[in-house]
A = this chain, B = another copy of it.
Amino acid sequence: MKLIECVPNFSEGRRAEVVQEIVGAITAVQGIRVLDRSSDASHNRSVITFVGDPMAVKKAAFTAAQKAAELIDMEQHRGEHPRMGATDVIPLIPVSGVSMEDCIALARELGREIGEKLQIPVYLYEEAAALPERKNLAAVRRGEYEGLKKAIEKPHRHPDFGPLRLHPTAGATAVGARPPLIAYNINLDSSDVNIARKIARSIRGSNGGYPSIKALGVLIKESNRAQVTINVCNYRHVPLSRIFETVKSEAARYGVGVSGSEVIGLLPMEALLDAAAFYLRLQDFHPGQVLEKRLMEGEKEGR
């Protein structure tokens, strides 16, 4: 079963009825499941998580962008979060049975369709970026909606698809592809936040650690315990087991133990199967041995 996750961000976090109409446009597409939705009033922004097969995801993302263009006027939009369009970003994430390349190809098809049919300029970002400097979303969105009105005319800011001017109400949209991001926290049995900070530095890319790892050391007030809070941006490059064991051994170097870890929100089954396979030293294991996985893939033949 081919599954892609899509997590579009819309520039509306206050008018519940508008968000509901956008969600409605997504759920109306056959084969689509909305897994999560959250709106933030101060950011005036909503994030919707849905999954489905590639064609259904493309259709749902397009109709959602169309609906957002009808209902959201960027001329009126105010909010803390950086944004450049009614549908601000559309990341596509491979979940099962599809490769990153599939998601990149789909991002380009979707971007072309939004650009041409909705006349909204589209920038490809992250893994789908056509230009290296557009891998970074912040660079693509520089100047935000207001600044991009003029900046878009400069050749190096020209969109990848659609007109060379912002849509009068919907602005511009970034469409990209990326691996699933896992929000993973590891708790220390210490209240010394400096130890958590040192451990965070030892694993994160910005200090010479794993390039796909972002990490901070924080103090959890409720428990008065230090925590290493981590974004795992590519669990295939750095599995949870390696992160957990590295943090455990770094903590031991300070005479501190690890009391536990937490996954915040959703994660792909594979990330936990990998951890089980690592610790149980599983040999010749493949995910098709998992009953539920076999079911999703709809295989008819057994071992």
Q: Is A187 an interface residue (CB 8 A)?
A: yes
Please tell me if A156 contacts chain B, counting CB pairs below 8 Å. Answer: no
Which stretch (A76-84, A171-179, A286-294) binds chain B? A286-294
**Are B282 and A262 in contact, with the CB atoms below 8 A?**
yes
Q: Which residues of B contact A276 (CB under 8 A)?
A: 240, 272-273, 275-276, 279
The answer to whether A299 touches B35, judged by C-beta atoms less than 8 angstroms apart, is yes
Q: How far is the CA of A267 from the CA of B296 in the complex (A)?
A: 14
Residues of B within 8 A of A283 (CB): 187, 260-262
Q: A268 contacts the other chain (Cβ, under 8 Å)?
A: yes
Name the residue on B nearest A274 (C-beta): B276
Residues of B within 8 A of A265 (CB): 289, 302-303
B contact residues around A139 at 8 Å (CB): none
Query: Size of chain A's interface in residues, with CB distance under 8 A?
Result: 57
Complex alpha-carbon distance, A298 and B292, angstroms: 13
| Complex contact A292–B289 (CB within 8 A) | no
Q: How far is the CA of A295 from the CA of B301 in the complex (A)?
A: 23
A36 within 8 Å of B by Cβ? yes
* A96 CB within 8 Å of chain B: yes
The 3 A-B residue pairs whose C-beta atoms are closest, nearest first, are: A36-B302, A279-B279, A275-B276
Q: Give 13 CB contacts A-B under 8 Å.
A: A5-B291, A33-B299, A34-B300, A35-B302, A258-B281, A260-B282, A262-B282, A262-B285, A266-B294, A267-B290, A273-B276, A276-B279, A292-B296
- Besides A35-B294, A262-B283, A275-B279, 14 more A-B contacts (Cβ < 8 Å) are A3-B292, A5-B291, A27-B300, A33-B295, A33-B300, A37-B302, A244-B280, A258-B281, A262-B284, A264-B303, A265-B303, A266-B290, A273-B276, A275-B280
